[in-house]
Amino acid sequence: MSRIRSKDTMIETKLRKALWEKGYRYRKNYKDLPGRPDIVLTKYRIAIFCDSEFFHGKDWEILRPRLEKGRNPDYWVKKIQRNMQRDIEKDQALQYLGWSVIHFWGKDILEKPEECVRVIEEVIFDQKIERIDFDEEI
């Protein structure tokens, strides 16, 4: 476990590079927001989390039985369930503050970073549409 990094992971670096190449500027591990998002686009109020499949419980209904058969099952089941609950709490706190929250699985970032950037751009575009005042004369 000592080699598992909490920041500047390979998946974070890959997504940051893809964003930078498209001209998006960001903050890393932004301390001023709940949950310290991995990437923050302050201009658009978007918080991005790059989640590893194991530690954030992807396909939990498949992973949990495997963990229960492995070593130290009580520890791992509790740890991952708490991570999943913490993710929900962070998302709610950020949304309450008016931030859009996006989570990407590590495998998706590694295989399709451009698709991840496209998802982020959709959120940016949707925000711009919400700001249009349709009561004003065009």
The enclosing domain of 100 has a CATH number of: 3.40.960.10
**Would 4 be classed as within a structural domain?**
no
Interval 35-77: pLDDT, tens = 999 999 999 999 999 999 999 999 999 899 999 999 999 999 9
* Average pLDDT for the chain: 90
How many other CB atoms are found less than 10 A from the CB of residue 43? 10
Beta bridge partners of 49: 103
**Would 25 be classed as within a structural domain?**
yes
Taken in order 104, 109, 115, 121, the sign of the CA dihedral is positive
Q: Which two tokens stand for residue 107?
A: 């495998």
**Would 5 be classed as within a structural domain?**
no
Domain span at 31 = 10-137
**Would 47 be classed as within a structural domain?**
yes
**Would 74 be classed as within a structural domain?**
yes
Number of domains in the chain: 1
**Would 53 be classed as within a structural domain?**
yes
**Would 1 be classed as within a structural domain?**
no
* pLDDT greater than 50 at residue 2: no
